[in-house]
Amino acid sequence: MDNENKSSNFLRSIILEDLREGKVEEITTRFPPEPNGYLHIGHAKSICLNFGLADEFKGKTNLRFDDTNPVKEDTEYVESIKEDVKWLGFDWDNLFFASDYFAEMHKRAVLLIEKGKAYVCDLSAEEIRKSRGTLTEAGKESPYRNRSVAENLELFERMRQGEFKDGEKVLRAKIDMGSPNINMRDPVLYRIAHATHHNTGDTWCIYPMYDYAHPLEDAIEGITHSICTLEFEDHRPLYDWVVRECEMEHVPHQYEFARLNMTNTVMSKRKLKQLVDEKVVDGWDDPRMPTISGLRRRGYTPEAIRNFAQAIGVARADSVVDSKMLEHFIREDLKLKVSRPMAVIRPLKVVITNYPEGQVERLDADHNKENPEMGKRKIPFSREIYIEQEDFMEVPPPKYHRLYPGNEVRLMDAYFIKCEEVIKDDEGKIIEIRCTYDPETKSGTGFTGRKVKGTIHWVEATQAVPAEFRLYEPLIQDDGAEEEGKTFLDHINPNSLEIRQGFVEPYMKEAKPQDKFQFPRHGYFNVDPNYTTPESLVLNLIVSLKSSFVI
């Protein structure tokens, strides 16, 4: 793909300097997701960054799955991640799994033991945590820290052979329990997990920890710029220690950037999985979810997401991005691309009493008035139509220019109609409006006899296509910050989904999943790929037409 995501940021400056000074001949980046959930919009920023920088400097990007925890990983997540990266418009130069390197990682762990840089520890996870100390208090050495090299080699091999239970022993780095950086206080390198791995099966029952595995993966693959988020900044000394003490031929370097935080948006895979598991949503691709698959199903385009990632840029300081900024970019991307048929979401029937019974005429309408090259469409018009309930009021407030008794409005791309009578049911609810039309006011004829202040949209009733409209609000009412005694689930918006049954123009009968449209006054909509069938059209609200947000 063409590189449209050039970023004037500190990472770009670093790469330019490295190339200019000959520190690297070719940059190699990687996108290293853990296959323990679906990717979200924050990962999209990282994807665009890693692939975009490699594209710009004619380098390479690896897609690597950090699959070091068999308990939480699944091939479903692997396939979804591949699909998301491809859909965003990127392709990897190499596809790797951390598990491809398990034998090499084990070999390097043995080297650390032989060098006296690692030991087998019998403390429990809780005991290790307590012995680590605090930011102001040094840690306490494990009573097993000074085992001999021979004993550590024997115990580690017995761990490898499956002689011990989960949690019974771990392999720890031997660094400095008094280090001001808690990550350097003898971190765990390997733990026991008698679990079947999605890629290696039951070959292994010991698995490397992320902080040990990740730098080795980067070194093995020849990564030049290992780009990660700011929470790993304090882990960088350990990253460098592992590469150095494991005597890796290639020495990668880690660079940190601020992760994406957005208003009204959960950016944690653990919490997103909880939403799925507790059926708050109907899956990882629920259109309310900030997952890439959820955004895709809702109707977002890869172009909009890439442009959003480019606009927010890359910084060293944490900040919060207004979610309306992402909405801005989908509007900008779709406004000249999609057709603008009419849709009625809350239908109110209108009978035009002076229009000939049984007659249906076909009117011309532009697909998109801002893009004449899209051509025209035909829309039927007859004695019976549907309008929006909100476009009629029996007793209107001041400056209400839509339909009310005695008032005249223009039907979009059709005629003037005037309200003559209101029909109600036994409970007093309005069920039908009776109007007359003026045949001289047909749109496109140049009629100038008089003007009306209101124009409303409509759908002809006899040929209208029934449709289900799914209207969305943010899933989280605010930032979801967890207060005492509450969790982020207490911030779920009960009105995040509203389902309405309405009608669209008959030409939309041929609409296919993922087709997108702009409906006048309502917003942009996407044909839902999960629920739409040949007999049932389901439309997801992508975004409203307007926003107060200014970029």
What is the residue-wise DSSP string for 242-287?
Answer: HHHHTT-SS--EEEEEPPP-BTT----HHHHHHHHHTTSSSSTT-T
H or E segment to which residue 295 belongs: helix 292-298
304: nearest Cα among 315, 291, 295: 295
- Residue partners of 421: CB distance under 8 A and separation at least 6: 405, 433, 434
Whether the Cβ atoms of residue 187 and residue 211 lie closer than 8 Å to each other? yes
Average the pLDDT over 61-89 and give the result. Answer: 96
Torsion over CA: 241, 242, 243, 244 (sign): positive
If you write DSSP's letter for every residue of 409-445 in order, what string do you get? Answer: EEETTS-EEEEEEEEE-TTS-EEEEEEEEEGGG-TTS
Taking the C-alpha atoms of residue 265 and residue 478, their distance in angstroms, rounded to an integer, is 8
What is the percentage of the chain residues whose pLDDT exceeds 70? 96
3-state secondary structure of 348: strand
Taking the C-alpha atoms of residue 132 and residue 176, their distance in angstroms, rounded to an integer, is 10
Tens of pLDDT, residues 187-215? 999 999 999 999 999 999 999 999 999 99
- Asked if residue 318 has pLDDT above 90, the reply is no
Q: Residue 396 gets which letter from DSSP?
A: P
Confidence of residue 5 (pLDDT cuts 50, 70, 90): very low
Confidence of residue 352 (pLDDT cuts 50, 70, 90): very high
State the pLDDT at residue 11.
Answer: 87
Whether the Cβ atoms of residue 505 and residue 518 lie closer than 8 Å to each other? no
State the pLDDT at residue 491.
Answer: 87
3-state secondary structure of 403: strand
Q: How many CA atoms lie within 13 A of 21 on its CB side?
A: 7
State the pLDDT at residue 468.
Answer: 98
Confidence of residue 484 (pLDDT cuts 50, 70, 90): low
Q: How many CA atoms lie within 13 A of 13 on its CB side?
A: 5
Give, to the nearest 10 degrees, the angle between helix 41-56 and helix 75-87: 60
- Asked if residue 9 has pLDDT above 50, the reply is yes
Q: Active-site residue among 30, 172, 174, 269? A: 269
> For residue 281, what are its two tokens?
């949503």
Which residues, listed in sequence order, are joined to residue 526 by a DSSP beta bridge?
A: 516, 540
State the pLDDT at residue 549.
Answer: 65
Mean of all residue pLDDT scores within the chain? 94
Tens of pLDDT, residues 457-480? 999 999 999 999 999 999 988 654
Query: What counts of helices (H) and strands (E) characterise the chain?
Result: 12, 24
- Residue partners of 198: CB distance under 8 A and separation at least 6: 35, 67, 70, 73, 74, 75, 78
Taking the C-alpha atoms of residue 306 and residue 4, their distance in angstroms, rounded to an integer, is 9
State the pLDDT at residue 4.
Answer: 40
> For residue 505, what are its two tokens?
């123009």
Taking the C-alpha atoms of residue 355 and residue 382, their distance in angstroms, rounded to an integer, is 7
Does 512 participate in catalysis according to the annotation? no
State the pLDDT at residue 200.
Answer: 94
Q: Active-site residue among 117, 140, 145, 259? A: 259
Range scoring the smallest mean pLDDT among 168-172, 306-310, 468-472, 483-487:
483-487
Confidence of residue 2 (pLDDT cuts 50, 70, 90): very low
Give, to the nearest 10 degrees, the angle between helix 236-245 and helix 210-221: 60
Taking the C-alpha atoms of residue 3 and residue 53, their distance in angstroms, rounded to an integer, is 9
- Asked if residue 481 has pLDDT above 70, the reply is no
Average the pLDDT over 166-176 and give the result. Answer: 98
> For residue 198, what are its two tokens?
């999605």
> For residue 480, what are its two tokens?
């979801």
Neighbours of 64 (CB within 10 A): 24
State the pLDDT at residue 7.
Answer: 43
Tens of pLDDT, residues 147-162? 999 999 999 999 999 9
Does 259 participate in catalysis according to the annotation? yes
Whether the Cβ atoms of residue 416 and residue 400 lie closer than 8 Å to each other? no
Q: Spell out the alpha helix ranges (H) of 427-493.
A: none
Does 460 participate in catalysis according to the annotation? no
- Asked if residue 531 has pLDDT above 70, the reply is yes
State the pLDDT at residue 1.
Answer: 42
> In angstroms, what is the C-alpha Rg of the chain?
31
C-alpha dihedral (15, 16, 22, 25), degrees to nearest 10: 60
State the pLDDT at residue 124.
Answer: 97
Taking the C-alpha atoms of residue 156 and residue 189, their distance in angstroms, rounded to an integer, is 11
Average the pLDDT over 267-281 and give the result. Answer: 94
State the pLDDT at residue 480.
Answer: 46
What burial letters (b/e) apply to 45-62, b meaning 16+ CB within 10 Å?
A: bbbbbbbbbbbbbebbbb
- Residue partners of 444: CB distance under 8 A and separation at least 6: 364, 413
State the pLDDT at residue 366.
Answer: 96
Neighbours of 269 (CB within 10 A): 21
Contacts of range 477-483, beta carbons closer than 8 Å, 24 or more positions apart: 477/264, 478/263, 478/264, 479/263, 479/264, 479/320, 480/264, 480/266, 480/271
Does this model's pTM top 0.85? My answer is yes
Distances (CA, A) of 178 to 116, 136, 138, 466: 18, 10, 5, 70
Cα three-residue angle 232-236-239, rounded to 5 degrees: 110
Which residues, listed in sequence order, are joined to residue 280 by a DSSP beta bridge?
A: none
Tens of pLDDT, residues 354-393? 999 999 999 999 999 999 999 999 999 999 999 999 999 9
Neighbours of 480 (CB within 10 A): 21
State the pLDDT at residue 483.
Answer: 63
Q: Active-site residue among 12, 34, 157, 349? A: 34
State the pLDDT at residue 490.
Answer: 87
What burial letters (b/e) apply to 496-505, b meaning 16+ CB within 10 Å?
A: bbeeeebbbb
Tens of pLDDT, residues 21-70? 999 999 999 999 999 999 999 999 999 999 999 999 999 999 999 999 99
Whether the Cβ atoms of residue 507 and residue 377 lie closer than 8 Å to each other? yes
Whether the Cβ atoms of residue 329 and residue 41 lie closer than 8 Å to each other? no
